[in-house]
Amino acid sequence: MTAVEANAAAARMATSAYLAEVGSAPLVPAPAGPDGAAETGPLLVELMGVHRQVRGAAHNLNQAVARLHSTSEPGGDLAAAAAYLARVAARADELVTAIAAAQTGRR
């Protein structure tokens, strides 16, 4: 068993859900530019990473739902996948709001 698998087991999570959880970075505010508006470059880079996470989380949720439909039993990862997707989607919303605020000079 690898360290990642052991940590996932200790957290009572599927390994894929554990990796997705620990792979999400906190929102880091962009530094203020010379005109006082925040630079959007770092936020856009972070948004691209979150976009990748949304796609992966949606795929994992889709697989969990497919198992539910085929077996009529929810797998252990269904609730975790749905909760993770909701958190990542909320994070994407935060980033879009931060980028819009940075572009208009509002905080």
Residue 83: burial class (beta carbons within 10 Å; 0-12, 13-18, 19+)? middle
For residue 80, tell me if it sits in a domain. yes
- pLDDT tens by residue, 15-50: 777 667 666 545 455 455 555 445 777 878 888 888
For residue 66, tell me if it sits in a domain. yes
User: The pTM is what?
Assistant: 0.55
For residue 71, tell me if it sits in a domain. yes
Structure tokens at 70: 């085929």
SS3 at position 33? coil
pLDDT at 22: 63
| CA nearest neighbour of 25 among 55, 3, 5, 50 | 50
Residues facing residue 38 across a β-bridge = 32
In the predicted structure, residue 88 carries a pLDDT above the cut 70: yes
For residue 82, tell me if it sits in a domain. yes
For residue 74, tell me if it sits in a domain. yes
Structural domains of the chain, count: 1
For residue 107, tell me if it sits in a domain. yes
Its sign, for the CA torsion 24, 56, 11, 92, is positive
For residue 10, tell me if it sits in a domain. no
Determine the structural domain holding residue 70 and report its residue range: 39-107
pLDDT at 40: 74
For residue 48, tell me if it sits in a domain. yes
